[in-house]
Amino acid sequence: MLILSGFLAGRYALDAPMSLFASLVFEQSYGGVEGDSASSAELYALMSALADAPLRQDLAVTGSVNQLGDVQAIGGVNEKIEGFFDVSSARGLTGSQGVLIPSANVQHLMLREDVVKACAAGDSRSIRSRVSRRASHF
């Protein structure tokens, strides 16, 4: 949460102290890999609450965010996309589901053939996350 606090202070509290307290908890853990790849989701949730603007619920998000708001590469991007695709397929693909991933991870994509075909057919999407220094322009 300190990274997000640093981002918000650097963006919105340049002339005066920031009087804001926010707490987010992600209690789910699906495997042995832990890390900061949910920090972009935390930032989007916080910005959504501050702007009173709802987030789309048909998009999955992954990516690490630094104090400047840059979305950074994460590990396991293929597995994360394929996992969301599997869940979305089981519930029924609508063509609007997608996964926001860091742009730096695009070169590492090695997705299963069924995921690639669904994306090509427009049944699902993989969306590059380009928030870099634009997270405040919600």
**Cα–Cα distance between 28 and 87 in angstroms, integer?**
16
Decide: helix, strand or coil at residue 109: coil
Q: Which of 39, 64, 80, 126 is catalytic?
A: 80
37 tagged catalytic: yes
**Cα–Cα distance between 11 and 24 in angstroms, integer?**
20
Q: Which of 37, 39, 40, 126 is catalytic?
A: 37
Q: DSSP for 37-58?
A: TTHHHHHHHHHHHHHT-PPPSS
117 tagged catalytic: no
Residues known to be catalytic: 37, 80
